[in-house]
Structure 1
């Protein structure tokens, strides 16, 4: 029997926060195909990411707030089988594209399991956990989505036109990832998990994230200018403006009272404003860069 608790722990709406990576890959894919687009989207966002969320929740057994759940319900036994079932469906959907994409989905799933499983628990290794999480949710996911959308194989992972934008997404996630841990210090300490945010401290986390957000902004600026896409750069910077403003205001409050303002509500606000602004930008980028609306006669 599937319990309501397990469904909530899948945190399916949380996939919205990783959608910009998929949309960026979609905007750059050279072989757009409607059926592959649907398969890749469903495999990643409806099944693979929720599977990872549920699996990690099963082993974390958080009692305090986690991403997407302010008051997580008690974990039940069926969550493990449900998360593995979702993983299996993701693999079956990926198989409809090609074996290479299936193996990419498999590797992503196994790495995400290693993050929380007691035998590996990358979450206890601050720098390695941070590096792997940002690399796989950014660059690896970008390349995986690009390969699935275009029906390509592993060889595209080291192609500059995939490697560069993929690493830019990782820079963004390396900046954001410690902020998602900043309100979980007490619970992580109870479990013995030394996350990067715990190691850096609250103020250190914000300073560290500011550095990587700056690097990511500079990287995207160079990317658009290098490709002669100045018009997209200005829209990108406009989309980033509310994110940067929110971060600076949050940081200002945190500097005054770290324990009060480094909390779940502020962190989720950061996630939501980032997701809305970046998803809007990359949808625009996809529609304009591919000129798909013109192709279908809408403009």
Structure 2
């Protein structure tokens, strides 16, 4: 597998995993991901975990940091297909639903041939809440995270610069799952990653995260929580077992234990994500203060 040079290095990921507060940060991040998933029923039905997480970020990138023509239906279709997020038809349908839901709006264009779209305050507020949750989780890992949190809560220029930085790196090839390839099949399916998060969160709060001890499993509860079928949950669990990420046990297979490989895979993914967010937030702060120009320099951590 080819790994982008922009992806945080194995040494940087390993160093962050050794941080004494890393387990606590992972738990907070996973709790936020599960909570946010449960509020996005429309996107959940239309897109996989991976596409849902990235679709609106790509839209923000085109609006704030992309090249001409900006955020148009055509530009969004082209970029989604280029990045492998979704088909042109699915992209157009989702953009229409986002407009109907008040997340995107038409905006005047200097060129009448181009029908520009723009994010509404409703969409920007949703992202600020998501980003703030992650920055809060990162506070004990990165001294600058308090500055990220303050900026995303109060400075519209930071929101624009941060969205552009996230998009630039992703379009240039950075992939969080480069350091956790075993999770790729789960990221391509509805609720795949958040179901694994939910299982990990089933452990006691004072246990390490992800837990090494068995946790209780209820397929019915997972299906209901994430609005998917029992068959879908069962299929995800089988795939996770096949990849040696977890082991089912108990008289009725009602317990799950994350294997060492499973725990390490979740750690790899979340460490990579934290470093990615920190890189982009540092760039955004620099752009806002004039101390740095937005670029891809220094994007490789470690």
The TM-score normalised by the length of structure 2 is 0.27
Instruction: Using CA pairs under 8 Å that are at least 6 residues apart, name the structure with larger relative contact order, 1 or 2.
Output: 2
Please state which structure has a larger fraction of its residues in helix: 1
The TM-score normalised by the length of structure 1 is 0.28
Please state which structure has a larger fraction of its residues in strand: 2
